[in-house]
């Protein structure tokens, strides 16, 4: 009996450090990217790069119907595929311009799906977004975006 209690205590004493070492892994957020993956910007700031979150926001802010949601989703998917193809190329000013052109084409595709009232509201939201981005840039002391946006 004494030997059995000693064995139990020894096993418990040896497993305690292993349990303590695993606690940080258990506390880690499940949304944390795996090695080699890069978060958009991390936290809430990266939400604008997630097409589904953008679509959800647009649906709510502009009152998109089911057909519009499908067409906007298609525009986002097409843009993602075009951006992915460009990422295989080396970085260059030309590649940056091509990314901008993709963004502009995507905006035009989305605007073509919207009603005139929704287009006005979308433009207001874009202007607000641009103003917030410019304000953050100035607060950081940057002033001018190196991308020319």
Spatial distance between the Cα atoms of 61 and 69, rounded to a whole number of angstroms? 12
What distance in Å separates the CA atoms of residue 55 and residue 107, rounded to the nearest whole number?
13
Confidence category of residue 73, pLDDT binned at 50, 70, 90: very high
- For residue range 91-149, list pLDDT tens digits in order: 999 999 999 999 999 999 999 999 999 999 999 999 999 999 999 999 988 655 555 55
DSSP H stretches of helix in 1-149: 2-27, 51-62, 66-87, 93-113, 116-139
* Of residues 110, 18, 40, the one with CA closest to residue 69: 110
Return the ∠ at Cα 133 (arms to 84 and 32), rounded to 5°.
50
Long-range contacts of 76-85 (CB under 8 A, 24+ apart): 76/51, 76/106, 77/51, 78/106, 78/109, 79/103, 79/105, 79/106, 80/51
Q: What is the chain's mean pLDDT, rounded?
A: 79
pLDDT value of residue 17: 59
Cβ atoms of residues 34 and 20 within 8 Å: no
């Amino acid at each position: 009996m004494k030997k059995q209690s000693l064995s139990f205590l020894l096993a418990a004493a040896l497993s305690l450090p292993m349990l303590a070492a695993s606690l940080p892994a258990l506390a880690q957020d499940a949304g944390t990217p795996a090695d080699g993956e890069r978060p958009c910007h991390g936290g809430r700031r990266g939400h604008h790069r997630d097409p589904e979150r953008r679509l959800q926001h647009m649906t709510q802010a502009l009152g998109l119907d089911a057909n519009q949601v499908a067409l906007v989703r298609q525009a986002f998917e097409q843009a993602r595929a075009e951006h992915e193809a460009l990422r295989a190329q080396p970085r260059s000013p030309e590649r940056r311009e091509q990314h901008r052109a993709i963004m502009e084409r995507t905006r035009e595709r989305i605007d073509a799906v919207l009603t005139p009232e929704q287009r006005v509201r979308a433009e207001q939201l874009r202007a607000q977004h641009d103003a917030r981005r410019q304000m953050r840039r100035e607060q950081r002391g940057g002033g001018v975006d190196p991308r020319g946006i």
